[in-house]
Amino acid sequence: MDIKAIKDDIKTEWAQFEELIQKILWSDCNLLNQINSHLFDYKGKQIRPLLGLLAAKSCGKVNSLTISCAVASEMLHTASLLHDDVADDAPQRRGADTVQHKYNPAAAVLTGDYWLAKSLTLLIKEKDMTVLDYFTKTVEELSEGELFQMQKAASLDTTEEDYYRIIAYKTSSLFISAIKSTVYSTGASKETIENMERYAYNLGLAFQIRDDIFDYTPQLKTGKPSGGDIKEKKLTLPIIAALNSASSDEREDMLREIRLAQPDDDKLVEKAFALVKKYNGVDVAQRALDDHCKRAEESLNGLKPS
């Protein structure tokens, strides 16, 4: 996917997005502006607002509410990453120091709070309760999803159903509010909004499953370190599938290793990789990924090309 080319196709709308997000985040606090500058320097692909604007253009005319929704989606996503990095004690993201590592955890939490508050302030000023409801639901699900994942990491009994609940709340929710709100802002029909919500839901699941596959496929050289999930005692689809197919003894042995492992235990990673390979855990996850991609694509039937 050529992100730059796609942004060039919506050059006017993207310029409005960039202008508004810079404007709303400016502060009289120099430290906050310094941290924000660091975040903008390593801002990632900004997939959610980009998809939101593309979806809006497919369903109607982009307007000021559309731009505000796109900005809010990026701000909420960034706020969640700032908080996640503190929870995970992550030193790096996107090849750069995280805010919690470069500055301190308190700075990361407070900056995340600032981005979250500013996103909601922006939406409140639009005086549209429907849009506000979309985003506050996402905030609720992000928090619940993170806490549920912590609970399951402690108990090590994550089922496939649990896994889908976690990624629906932690990943799909952000795609849904980004796309559903921007489509709604164009005056699209209820049916169109529902179809786009299904698209966003399945796209979010596929996005996270792909990321979880990468964690068990170091040979793909994605640039991200592999084995991070299992070190944090997070059971994702590849290892869940392998554990479901393993013998009782293998399963108990693997869970015991995870439970007793110290952080950065490379032997644990090797053992988990071996089990996933033996029972084709990545293949199971890949089939699930393909299925959700297909469902997402089917949800777009009837939309004009964008």
Q: Are 84 and 109 in contact (CB under 8 A)?
A: no
User: Residue 204: is it exposed, middle or buried by C-beta count within 10 angstroms (0-12/13-18/19+)?
Assistant: buried
Q: Which 3 state secondary structure label does DSSP give 220?
A: helix
> How confident is the model over 80-121, as pLDDT tens digits?
999 999 988 888 888 899 999 999 999 999 999 999 999 999
Give the chain's mean pLDDT: 94
Question: Is there a contact between 39 and 60 (Cβ–Cβ < 8 Å)?
Answer: no
Helix (H) / strand (E) containing 92: strand 92-93
Q: Does the pLDDT of residue 223 top 70, yes or no?
A: no
Average pLDDT (142-160) is 96
Which of 47 and 220 is assigned the larger pLDDT?
Answer: 47
pLDDT digits (tens, 9 = 90+) for 248-276: 999 999 999 999 988 778 899 999 999 99
Q: Both tokens of residue 302?
A: 């009837």
80 contact partners, CB below 8 Å, separation of at least 6:
112, 142, 174
303 pLDDT band (50/70/90 cuts)? confident
CA torsion, points 182, 203, 229, 244, in degrees to nearest 10? Answer: 140
CA atoms within 13 A on the CB side of 178: 28
Residues 181/52, Cβ–Cβ less than 8 Å:
yes
Q: What is the pLDDT of residue 220?
A: 67
For the domain covering 3-188, report its CATH number: 1.10.600.10
The pair phi, psi for residue 96, each rounded to 5°, is -135, 165
State which H helix or E strand residue 16 sits in. helix 11-25
Q: List the structure tokens of 175.
A: 């795609």
> Under a CB-based contact definition with an 8 Å cutoff, are residues 198 and 220 in contact?
no
The pTM score is: 0.94
Confidence at 221, pLDDT banded by 50, 70, 90: low
Across the range 185-201, mean pLDDT stands at 97
Mean pLDDT of 160-188: 98
Residue 19, pLDDT above cutoff 70: yes
- The answer to whether the beta carbons of residues 152 and 158 sit under 8 Å apart is yes
**pLDDT of 41 over the 60 cut:** yes
pLDDT in tens, 70-84: 999 999 999 999 999
pLDDT score of 218: 83
* Mean pLDDT calculated for residue range 126-138: 97
Going from N- to C-terminal start, the domains of the chain cover 3-188, 215-305
- Cα 132 to Cα 130: distance, rounded to the nearest angstrom: 5
Secondary structure element (H or E) that encloses residue 96, with its range: strand 96-97
| pLDDT band at residue 246 using 50, 70 and 90 as cut-offs | very high
Contact 69, 48 (CB under 8 A): no
First-to-final CA distance of the chain:
14
Q: Which residue has the tokens 């701000």?
A: 75
CA-CA distance, 245 to 113, in Å (whole number)?
42
Position 306 pLDDT exceeds 70:
no
CA-closest candidate to residue 174, choices 84, 271, 250:
84
Beta bridge mates, 97: 92
Alpha-carbon distance of 254 to 240, in angstroms, equals 11
